[in-house]
Structure 1
Amino acid sequence: MTDIDRPTTAERLSPTEFVVTRRVDAPVQAVFAAWAQPELFRQWWAPASFGGTILSYEADMRTGGSYRLVMAHPSLPEPMAFFGRYVEVVAGSRIVWTNEEAGEQGQVTTVSFTSEGGATRIVVHERYPSPQALDEALASGATSGWGEQFAQLDALIPTL
């Protein structure tokens, strides 16, 4: 299948909500593992066209656990750190985390995994604390890499 056959859709649902969906041709267990295991996550998370690299990623993926992702980009003098905590983790079904590096402007991200006859529908729902916070994320391009990220995930899955 191509990206045309399983497009990534991204839309603003409300003044504070942004949702991305994608169908991946793999069972839920494999797709969830690619999100939950740091060594797999590092292989697909950063869009290649972004030009950045993941320097480190540590995750204690359980309800109440935390994560820290550090990325570098040639245009930035210092690496960028992204961090937060897992609000809810249900293996094979759902991951909810905070994005605390933005302080009060950080969104809460919920990823749901649904089995669809051997494939998996992924829904990423981001809730921002204000319309301005979502406006800033959209303007900065922070929400624009999902299609490429999911294409990279599609390429990784058959190798698992």
Structure 2
Amino acid sequence: MTVKHATFTLERGYPVPPERVFAAWADPAAKARWFVPAGTHTLDFRVGGTETVGATGPDDTKLSVTSTYHDIVPDRRIVYATTLSGDEVLATVSITTVELEADGGGTRLVLTEQGTFLDGAEEPQWREQGTGDWLDRLGEALK
């Protein structure tokens, strides 16, 4: 039984104002387009609300992700806690903070995630890569 702890921070610049970036995160249909390219998705975007994702991993593992929103400041900040399970076995528990800041005519997004990775089911670098990929898809969706 192993436990790894890791924190990473990713930054992105988007050529739209923070209100547009926030809206892409808050609207269930918009978020599903960039966040979940394949699988199921639900979003109740409010403090205390949850988001779920169901997908299949590369080795046919059934992936289940559940996030609970703890802090939402419109157009500025989102804080949520997430569990990820593979075949109903808990793999990670994390807390994520997304900060949005006006930057000229665009937005500077800073995402910081602090995670607990259990028994080698997921590695911190995999999570960082996957998070970077969906932030890139968000950028494409905002064009």
Using a 3 Å threshold, how does the CA distance of structure 1 residues 37 and 19 change in structure 2: closer, same or farther? Answer: same
Question: Deviation digits for residues 7-60 of structure 1, max 9, x if unmatched?
Answer: xxxxxxxx63211111111111111111111211122225xxxxxx43221111
Cα-Cα RMSD: 2.4
Aligned position for 1:137: 123
Q: 5 Å matches for 1:13-24?
A: 16-24=6-14
Question: What letter is aligned with 2:42?
Answer: E
Question: Deviation digits for residues 45-100 of structure 1, max 9, x if unmatched?
Answer: 25xxxxxx43221111111111111123463153x110021111111111111112
The alignment of Structure 1 onto Structure 2 pairs a total of residues equal to 133
TM-score, with length taken from structure 2: 0.78
Structure 2 counterpart of 1:62, from 27, 41, 46: 46
1:85 correspondence with 2:68: yes
The structure with the largest helix share of the pair is 1
Structure 1 unmatched runs, 5+ = 1-14, 47-52
Distance between the aligned counterparts of 1:128 and 1:151, measured in 2? 21
Structure 2 unmatched runs, 5+ = none
Structure 1 counterpart of 2:83, from 100, 114, 121: 100
Structure 2 counterpart of 1:154, from 135, 139, 143: 139
Distance between the aligned counterparts of 2:17 and 2:100, measured in 1? 10
The structure with the largest strand share of the pair is 2
